[in-house]
Structure 1
Amino acid sequence: MAELRNWFLSTVDGVLCGHGDVYYSEKIEDGKSIVTTGVHEITYLADKLVIKTKHSVYELPYAYHRQVGGIDTNVIPVEYLQGKQEALDISRWTEGAVDERREQEKAEMVTLIDPAVQNAAVLRFSHQSAYYYLAMLMKKANNYIYTDSYTVRPGTYKDTVLIDGTIPGTHFAYYPEYGRIEFFSWDKEFDTVYLENTGNEDLEFITPLGTVTVKAGACKAISK
């Protein structure tokens, strides 16, 4: 059976996957770093996990687990995995469940936009999410585009977060020591930008139009 070393589990585009260096695989050379396809089943043993994907089975010994640092809440802590006798509920991480969640989130965000506004963006944040970012919805005329993907450019004092699939310029910087988000560029095609805070702590945003505080559970519209 194939084995993953230096491994961890996380969600990729909302789907649970294994990351690590593979050994004893019939198809892949030893030591090659891989990301598995979506995990469908997890079995708990005394010294390891066994994960099943659509086409493969992997052993994940606890001794080879890699602790992943940072604030990435997509990573499943080993403390949650190790020693559990019941199977981890992965139903919310299956592809079907993720697609359903995204459709629901998109529908919720559409309701925040004033119908009279033709070009708008809704950015959803929470202090409990990695880089505070959850999702973005863009409205162009009567077309809506939703994305929850992003790319991070690490920096010395701050990391820059670029929201994938959007018009260039829709990105921000995250300051963990201050607990705030700074938009140092602003898409000129948006008439109104809605900042939604779904967490239970207030968030501060530094925008080209000034400092904005969005209360927990609230949404604030910023117009030119």
Structure 2
Amino acid sequence: MSEIQKSQPKPFKKRRYYIPEEVEEHNKAVDCWVSFSNEVYNISSLIQANQGKPECQSLIKAAGADITHWFNSKTGDPRTFIDPETNLESVFCPWGPYLHINSSVPGSTAPGLPWWKDKEKYFIGRLTKKTRKIRIINTLTREEETITVASEETLNEILDRMLNLNTHAGSYTWKRLGRPLDMELTLDENGIPDESNEFLKFNLDDEFYIPAIHIYYNDDLT
């Protein structure tokens, strides 16, 4: 892979919900995602527009990570603390001041709409509150794939994830224990509950049992 290719943002598909692994893949200055408060922001263009500013460095360090701890959970504003040296309120910046923080006035932000509130520019979707694993068993090829999905996703959205593994995934009927599933509903709404907490309660690995969905080929060549 050439240096130019290495510096390009990773292609991504717009989703309602992302899993942490998807956020983690976008971990460079040219391709920078962060998540906080169960929301995902693509701030690559923000960093490019402010290239060279030292306030970009902490955001680049955070690329691909969850930075919920930077913000006040009630107000959505940056967390503050009383600096023991100056006895003044300051913004909590664990990796140094970042863009739109007014470093000249402790505890304040710069004028204008800060990037963490500019959903129109940077917000791309939500971060799942819980991931789930599901086994997809192809009754035609006998192949089996275990994929990680967002618990809030409908089966149609899970099917969309499957297209990377099987371009004809839309040509199958999805069933659980012989019962056709509603593709507009989530796994839980289709009667496939997440039992991982029960396994943990009994000190069992949460992968001890991964539910299976069987897919049946419709032979319509879509």
TM-score using structure 1 length: 0.29
TM-score using structure 2 length: 0.29
Structure with higher strand content? 1
Structure with bigger gyration radius: 2
